[in-house]
Amino acid sequence: MFTVEDLSKVYSSRRGAVRALDKVSLVIENGSFVSITGNSGSGKSTLLLTLGGLIRPTEGKVEFCGKGIFDSSSVDLAEYRNRKVGFVLQTFNLVPYLSAIENVMLPTLFYPNDNGSQRKTAETLLNRVGLTGREEHLPRELSVGQQQRVAIARALANNPEVILADEPTGNLDPALSIEILEILKQLNVNESKTVIMVTHSPEAARYGTQRLHLENGRIV
């Protein structure tokens, strides 16, 4: 599914250049559950966001299903993020003034969609993550764990092939963390979604069928 070759990302700052990724190469197969671990600043989030088309690499190539994702225009890249991948992030996940169901429907607004099924799909997704009856709740009216479940439902709104999760359990207690990880696992096992998850937690990392560890921008 993903083929990464010699991927490097260098950030320029006033204090000089920082190499976040250093010639990373890897292959991620369709339907795998990849966990990426590493210390802060090891480059694991940079790798995830590069796979998601949000960070343009300084060098190297990222292919999705045989096609270089950064070879396309910014409009195509936006469509890739919308259709092919679904994001679950640690924080800044939901739009605060939209209800749970409206947040889930967000990804369907940017490209032509069958609006008739838009709400029905969102309800089904919320039901699948155990939030039936919470559709009209605003994010502030939901617990942190429920908010993260809304984020997972939203990531699935356009039925993407890949779920990219950046520290999805970072703000959760152990019990809630397991709930979220189980949902991701079900998506991987039952629906053959490819899940790529960045985590600090060794327990969470064990959910991965393919585990990667980064240090100083390199896979070790």
Partner 1 sequence: MKLNTIVWKELWLRKSQLVSALLAITLGIAVIVGIQSVSIVSEKAIKVKLDNLGANIMVLPQAASVDDYYSADIDAPTFPEEYVERLATSTLPGVDNLSPKLTRRIKINDVPVILTGILPANELAAKPIWQSAGLVGEGLNAACDPNNNANIDYGYKDDKLQRKAVDSLAANEILLGSDAARRLNLKESDSLFIEGQSFMVARVLPETGTIDDSRIFAHLHTVQGLLGIKGQVSTIEVMGCCSAISDGLLGKMRNILPDTRITTINQIVSTQIETNNLMSKISMIFLVIIVLVGAITIGNFMWANVEERRREIGILITIGAKKLSIYYLFLIKSIMLGFVGGVTGYILGTISAMVLGPQLAGLTITPVPIYLVFSILVSVVIALLGSILPVQHAARLDPAMIMQEI
Residues of this chain that interact with partner 1 (CB under 8 A) are 45-46, 49, 52, 54-55, 74-75, 78-83, 86-87, 89, 91-98, 102, 105-111, 115, 118-119, 154, 158, 166
Q: Pick the closer one to partner 1 by CB: 26 or 78.
A: 78
Task: Kindly state the smallest distance separating residue 110's Cβ from partner 1, in Å.
Answer: 5
Specify which residues 181 forms β-bridges with: none
Q: Pick the closer one to partner 1 by CB: 53 or 208.
A: 53
Q: Pick the closer one to partner 1 by CB: 59 or 182.
A: 59
Torsion from C-alpha of 84, 85, 86, 89, nearest 10 degrees: -160
Q: Pick the closer one to partner 1 by CB: 52 or 208.
A: 52
Q: Are strands 210-215 and 218-219 parallel, antiparallel or unpaired?
A: antiparallel
Task: Kindly state the smallest distance separating residue 208's Cβ from partner 1, in Å.
Answer: 22
Task: Kindly state the smallest distance separating residue 63's Cβ from partner 1, in Å.
Answer: 20
Task: Kindly state the smallest distance separating residue 4's Cβ from partner 1, in Å.
Answer: 17
Task: Kindly state the smallest distance separating residue 12's Cβ from partner 1, in Å.
Answer: 13
Q: Pick the closer one to partner 1 by CB: 139 or 208.
A: 139
Task: Kindly state the smallest distance separating residue 81's Cβ from partner 1, in Å.
Answer: 4
Q: Pick the closer one to partner 1 by CB: 171 or 209.
A: 171
Give, to the nearest 10 degrees, the angle between helix 144-155 and helix 174-191.
20
